[in-house]
Amino acid sequence: MPRAMLASFANRIAKPDLRWVPDEGLTVSRLRIELLSGLTVALALVPEAVAFAFVAGVHPLVGLYAAFMVGLITALIGGRPGMISGATGALAVVMVALVAEHGVEYLFATVVLMGILQVIAGAMHWGRFIRLVPHPVMLGFVNGLAIVIFLAQMGQFKVPGTMENTGHGVGGGEWLSGLQLYTMLGLVVLTMAVIWLMPRITRIIPAPLAGIFVVAALVIGFGLDVPRVGDLASIEGGLPPFHIPMVPLNWETFEIILPYAVILAAIGLIESLLTLNLVGEITGKRGGASQECIAQGVANVATGFFGGMGGCAMIGQSMINVKSGGRTRIAGIAAALFLLVFILFASPLIEQIPLAALVGVMFMVVIGTFAWNSFKIMRKVPLMDAFVIVLVTVVTVMEDLAVAVVVGVIVSALAYAWNNAKRIHAITRESETEKGAKVYEIQGPLFFGSSEGFVELFDVPNDPDTVIVDFNESRVVDQSALQAIENIASKYEAAGKRVMLRHLSRDCHKLLNKAGHLMVDSDDDPDYQLAVDYSVRTGILGGH
């Protein structure tokens, strides 16, 4: 690893941008909001971590330990206060095949390698590439995510103990029916109503927490027969033990875990960085992408050595935190510590919380996360942008978040390239300085997408003996563009005519040099330091 990379990494770990205190200062009121927000998030984390552990085919405590370790470390040194990280479904669906074929010890080793790769990505500042994600992709990602969160809650409407791992998640099982189903639906609606009404009454207690407390009190007080957290699995356990993955330290092991580690690292970073942007839009904060990559990596390395399944940012829980008022690192740290308290001391109480209350909270997250204005936006934006929004939404639901983002970026890039390819055209006129010469003023970028159209602009048989190609309003971008220029030059040379290139940019000058062309400077055009004339007859490129 280069010395500069090590220095960057050490600086970020030694002096992380903690931002413990908000701009208005850390008052008693702010501290109360942060702690209560953390408690709300912790309660919502429990069924999610257990469910994702089932998806990955590991013990529920493996998911809970990951939620605690990843959540705590990223809250301490992550790139954005307010974000919540933990075990996620996007990673779990990749892990299930590894666990089924090689066992949980290989999963721990993979999580360690995954974290190392994420630290390298952060130290190399690769997180900055998230800015290449277009806004239509972000809209589709958010909408798809909201649908995924909604669909994930459907499993809570099945009879506990009847669900099974299908390899793509927890599925199958018998649906609730009769009075039990109606009771649970009623409690979900009640939770949502409390969350909606609470801010209109008081903001002393976060609305999601109030909804959980009201419904839990009602269910426990009246002994209602509805599924509870304890019906999923027992969350009782001890402190996460230090554990070196029991795998052979040889090349064969590396070959097994590397492909999974690369995929998990990529998915984890994409989901985390998109969450970073989403939270940043709500809180008005920017930056921190590379720091978040490093924090995610450090958290996963640590988690792999403490018996956790690894994780990344959780958009649903991050939205709960932000909507509950969490704005500092205190909320994330509190959420992780509350979760540990649940595991160590309060499991009997937490296991009595009805799943309906947590489902109601997540449904409100869905409503708040979905970009409802996208329906209006899609009627106003270009058709291709509207298509990208729908495409990313569908792929997010059908596949996963990372694949959807990659697909969206590729389609958007191809659309951009096609639109620019159609912009290439030329304005022709007689030269004012070269008697009898014809000037082609090229308009639009010249690159791989427009190179064929560029060649078609010229009328070689009918042009005069001297032709000037002026790139003052164009830009030569890549090797395909250079090849197109060479093709035109060859055609004019074969016709016994002279072609001159003018007003090429400095970077094009460098590209021509790299391509092996002879460059001769000239001072006959002082306004353009590195413009170029290309004489086919003499084989000389001259600067203008």
pLDDT for 538 beyond 80 = no
Q: Scanning the structure block, which residue is given the tokens 């030269």?
A: 431
Q: With pLDDT > 90 as the criterion, what percentage of the chain qualifies?
A: 49
Position 170 scores a pLDDT of 47
Mean pLDDT of the 265-270 span: 91
Domains along the chain with CATH numbers: 28-157+243-355+367-384 (no CATH), 425-543 (3.30.750.24)
Q: Is 166 exposed, middle or buried (0-12, 13-18, 19+ CB in 10 A)?
A: exposed
In the chain, the N- to C-terminal Cα span, in Å, equals 45
- The mean pLDDT value for 492-505 works out to 85
Mean pLDDT of 471-489: 86
- Using alpha carbons, select from 3, 32, 13, 86 the residue that is nearest to residue 328: 32
Q: Is the pLDDT of residue 12 over 70?
A: no
pLDDT at 98 over 90: yes
Tell me, what's the pLDDT at 521? 34
Three-class secondary structure of residue 28 per DSSP: helix
Q: Tell which wins on pLDDT, 348 or 132.
A: 348
Least confident of 49-53, 160-164, 430-434: 160-164
C-alpha dist (Å) from residue 407 to 134, 151, 314, 378, 412: 12, 22, 21, 19, 9
pLDDT at 264: 94
> Are the C-beta atoms of 453 and 424 separated by less than 8 Å?
yes
Residue 2 has pLDDT above 70, yes or no: no
**Average pLDDT value for residue range 192-213:** 91
pLDDT at 57: 87
Asked if pLDDT for residue 161 goes beyond 80, the answer is no
The answer on pLDDT for 216 being more than 90 is yes
The pLDDT of residue 18 is above 70: no
- pLDDT of 512 reads 58
Range picked from 2-11, 302-311, 410-419 for highest mean pLDDT:
302-311
- Give the chain's mean pLDDT: 84
Is the pLDDT reported for residue 164 higher than 60?
A: no
Q: What per-residue confidence (pLDDT) applies to 345? A: 94
Percent of the chain with pLDDT over 70: 85
Token pair recorded at residue 280? 């940043």
pLDDT score of 470 more than 60: yes
Q: Which of 63-77, 449-463, 515-529 has the lowest mean pLDDT?
A: 515-529
Q: Range with the lowest mean pLDDT among 18-22, 35-39, 73-77, 480-484?
A: 18-22
Q: Which of 185, 196, 169, 199 is nearest to 89 (CA)?
A: 169
Provide the whole-model pTM: 0.77
Nearest to 441 by CA among 488, 473, 485, 466: 473
Instruction: Label residue 16 by pLDDT band (50, 70, 90).
Output: very low
Q: Kindly write down the DSSP assignment for every residue of 9-24, as one continuous string.
A: HHHHHHS-----S-TT
CB atoms within 10 A of CB 486: 13
pLDDT at 183 over 80: yes
Structure tokens at 281: 């839009």
- In this structure, the number of other CB atoms found within 10 A of the CB of residue 327 comes to 24
**542 pLDDT higher than 60:** no
Could you give the C-alpha distances from 82 to 69, 79, 129, 323, 337, in angstroms and in order? 16, 10, 22, 10, 15
* Rounded CA separation 538/42 (Å): 76
Please give the radius of gyration of the chain, using alpha carbons only, rounded to the nearest integer. Answer: 30
